[in-house]
Amino acid sequence: MAPHELRRTFKRTAISDQQRRRDLALLRQNQQRSDSQNRARRLASSVLALPDPSSPAEALVDLPDVVDVHPDLYLDPSSEPEAASPAGRHLDVVEASNLKGRTARHWFSRQLMLMEWMIDVPPSLDRDWYSPSRSDQSALENQLSKKVSGREEGAPRSKSGSPTEQPSPLPWQHATQDVEEHPGQKYVFARPSGKRCFVVSSNGTTVSRLRNGSVLHRFPSSLPNGARTKEISAASHVFCILDCIFHEPDQTYYVIDLICWRGYSLYDCSAEFRFFWLNSKLLETGACDLPSVYHRYRFSVVPVYECNQIGLQKAYTCGVTFAKDGLLFYNRHANYQAGNTPLALVWKDEFCSKYVLDTDGEGQVPIQQQVVLELQGTGKLTTHDDPPIVFGYLEREFFQKTGLQVGNLLRFSIMDESVRTVDGKLELGEIKFLGKANRFRAFADSYSKVFFQHTARHSPLQFMDLMASVDPSLHYENTEDSEMIG
């Protein structure tokens, strides 16, 4: 036996940096190896998104080519966002719940489904214009619709050729039982006014994060694994993710969508299933009970209606426990999709919202419409869309002189007289630089929001227009069309 080493490290200073460099290099190499192998796997299989295990992978073959045939002017290859698979996104959520600081904010700011603003009434609001009859095609359509979002808002949406399904009435909502005679493909509900947030319950605690990813509340709740009590805490793979709006006046989280429940992912489930699951599961937990020590905030569901005349009328006029901020339209077959999606739409007018027109920093509605755009490396000013829409340019000299940097969110005001609509597309013409946007902003405005704000100031889309679009007597042509193709 070797003699015992008596000397111990004494007043040790910095660790050996060389070993650290070796270890970091090894870590980087392993990461890059696994990245490039995964990339090979994805590309080779033409799988952009991990398919549902039950559906054959061929359904997604050659997606990139399909996308390429759209002759679009606005594609900016330099700012092409990474195509993360939806599965990868939600599978990381347990790890993500342990993230801290900037990384966490960055991750969570990209998880919410962002509704588009309704600029024009879709030809049949009560029909499901994107939902094809074959299920294997719906994934393809989803991918496609993601790619083209932000381009075709102005034009009427194309219909896919599918016979109208006869869906069964919603099993959980009494409110809808009297509207069975005209079932639709869309849901409508009043949007509670408040802070949109992402609520994650895991490891015995519940955390809500705002759209920009920053934490709103960290609290105990009766959601599964949402508090450290004997009844509620659970293994680490048990977690829930809810899409909520926090309504200040009654301190309640109104749940508008359910993304994961007890570790079971609902990303790839239809809105129909997600709402069903939400309504049946949330009540079981006691999350809707009044607040208590281990349940600091109450959760509540929002009444959801089928989007026909009766449903639309109810969503618009019926009294609810919260202040309304517009109406939300959900496509029944749409999966939950992080980022912008045209499969969920928001619309508002003065009757159902206090906030139809955007306000400036002081809470005043400015005389000229203002927009927030992102500065790109080339000086382009773009919206938050995929791909981004270019609304103007800044001279390089100008932004270098003012110390602006690529990625900055900048506020501009619009010269109303220079705004034009060309082929259904909005062009802003001259815009005036006002300054940097509020630092809490995570994203620029989306194209559809700018468009909606513009029309709201000039020729707003009226509730009557919506009602007209769901009038059964006006639908004959569309239905026939579908049937012919189907």
Binding site for other proteins (CB under 8 A): 1, 3-4, 6-11, 13-14, 16-18, 21-22, 24-26, 28-29, 32-33, 36-37, 40-41, 44-45, 47, 50-51, 53, 56-58, 87-88, 91-95, 100-102, 105, 236-237, 405-406
Query: Rounded to an integer, what is the distance from CA 377 to the centroid of its chain?
Result: 26
Give min distance, CB of 253 to other proteins, in A.
Answer: 25
Give min distance, CB of 265 to other proteins, in A.
Answer: 10
| For other proteins, the closer CB: 97 or 185 | 97
Q: Please state, in angstroms and as integers, the Cα–Cα distance from residue 170 to each residue in 176, 178, 183, 185, 273, following that order.
A: 7, 11, 9, 11, 10
Give min distance, CB of 444 to other proteins, in A.
Answer: 18
Burial 10-30 (b: 16+ CB within 10 A, else e): eeeeeeeeeeeeeeeeeeeee
| For other proteins, the closer CB: 169 or 407 | 407
Q: Which residues contact 26 (CB under 8 A, 6 or more apart)?
A: none
Spatial CA neighbour of 204 closest among 220, 218, 215, 217? 220
| For other proteins, the closer CB: 203 or 331 | 203
Give min distance, CB of 39 to other proteins, in A.
Answer: 9
Distance between CA 297 and CA 309 in Å, rounded?
34
Q: Which residues contact 122 (CB under 8 A, 6 or more apart)?
A: 129, 156, 157, 469
Distance between CA 295 and CA 219 in Å, rounded?
8
Give min distance, CB of 57 to other proteins, in A.
Answer: 5
At residue 36, φ and ψ (nearest 5 deg) are -75, -30
| For other proteins, the closer CB: 25 or 318 | 25
Give min distance, CB of 445 to other proteins, in A.
Answer: 22
Strands 240-247 and 298-301: unpaired
Give min distance, CB of 446 to other proteins, in A.
Answer: 24
Strands 431-436 and 215-219: unpaired
| For other proteins, the closer CB: 96 or 307 | 96
Query: Rounded to an integer, what is the distance from CA 209 to the centroid of its chain?
Result: 14
Give min distance, CB of 377 to other proteins, in A.
Answer: 8
| For other proteins, the closer CB: 87 or 357 | 87
Joined tokens for residue 277: 């699951």
Distance between CA 227 and CA 219 in Å, rounded?
8
| For other proteins, the closer CB: 54 or 168 | 54
Residue in the structure block whose two tokens are 């569901």? 301
- Residue 304 CB coordination number (10 Å): 25
Q: Burial of 80 by CB count in 10 Å (0-12 exposed, 13-18 middle, 19+ buried)?
A: exposed
Give min distance, CB of 44 to other proteins, in A.
Answer: 5
Spatial CA neighbour of 375 closest among 411, 413, 409, 412? 409
End-to-end CA distance of the chain: 85
| For other proteins, the closer CB: 31 or 359 | 31
Distance between CA 193 and CA 196 in Å, rounded?
9
Q: Do residues 294 and 220 make contact, with C-beta atoms less than 8 angstroms apart? A: yes
Give min distance, CB of 214 to other proteins, in A.
Answer: 9
Give min distance, CB of 95 to other proteins, in A.
Answer: 6
| For other proteins, the closer CB: 71 or 101 | 101
Secondary structure class of 314 (helix, strand, coil): helix
| For other proteins, the closer CB: 109 or 455 | 109
At residue 449, φ and ψ (nearest 5 deg) are -70, -45
| For other proteins, the closer CB: 100 or 174 | 100
